[in-house]
Amino acid sequence: TSLVWIGLCFVALLPIFSLGTAAFRICAFNAQRFAEGKVNKPKVVDILVKILARCDISVLQEVMDAKGKAVPALMNALHQYDDQHSYSYLTSPLLGRGNYQERYVYIYRNQKTQILDYYTYEDMHPDRPDVFAREPFIARFSMANKELPELVLIPQHTMPSKAEAEIDALYDVFLNVQERWATEDMIFLGDFNADCGYVAKKRWKDIRLRQKPGFHWLIGDQADTTVREKTHCAYDRWDQDCLAKPYNFTRALGLSEEEALEISDHYPVEVELKLLPTSLP
């Protein structure tokens, strides 16, 4: 999962990253073919809700809930596990080509944030039409903070064979969001397949999201965001390792590799914003 911070790290966010302030945690998680089969396994659901309850906003990818039943069941389990918070969710339409389709799903704490607006990116750029296998599903969130009143999240799960082109085209999405909502306060996040053969190191110089000034990657090239011990790939990213990292639920919850792979072959990645709290509008 990759997270790319636009325009904030060295400008607006520096004054609000400080000790003693309230942490706001955003998580991105490729839940690997999440559908009814997983919510019908109590042990899997038990781990999933423990992961989700760590986060003020979670963004799930690879949700293959065609009938729309798995996510409500997961939300019910989450509320039973964490009755101290009220959660809502927003799902994208089914996205993808042919019979293979996925949803993006936002899960968020109502006490901490609200969704102000959202849309599915129209993949109609004149120079790069239909570049995304699964178009970004973009949401604008309110934040209880004077310095950062709103934050836009842009999830993307790339097709591995087209990862380079899709990551580069996210720059066009940035320009689209900037024009639509007049903001640069945004995070790109998701499973970018941005390592281990899908994007060669020599190709990064041609990817605008990596080369344009003001874009800050919050998970470095050396990070491992995969569950399997035999792999070491930074598919799931941010920038500035001191603020963002994968959540190794295998170690944290005392699971075997086999048990962890029942959940996903990816670890969630998390970032904590240290925000000076104010009330939501």
Round to whole Å and give the CA distance between 265 and 30. Answer: 8
157 is catalytic: yes
Q: 41: Cβ–Cβ under 8 A, 6 or more apart, which residues?
A: 262
How far is CA 42 from its chain centroid? 25
What does the DSSP assignment read for 218-277? BS-TT---BS-TT-----S--B-TTTEEE--HHHHTT--HHHHHHH-SB--EEEEEEE--
Q: Residues 143, 16: contact at Cβ < 8 Å? A: no
102 is catalytic: yes
H-type alpha helices, 40-136: 42-52, 70-81
Q: Which of 62, 102, 135, 166 is catalytic?
A: 102
Q: Residue 203 has what DSSP assignment?
A: G
Write out the two tokens for 237: 């990213």
What does the DSSP assignment read for 85-112? S-EEEEEPPPBSSTT--BEEEEEEETTT
DSSP tally for the chain: helices H, then strands E: 7, 12
Q: Which of 62, 135, 157, 270 is catalytic?
A: 157
- Residues assigned a catalytic role: 102, 157
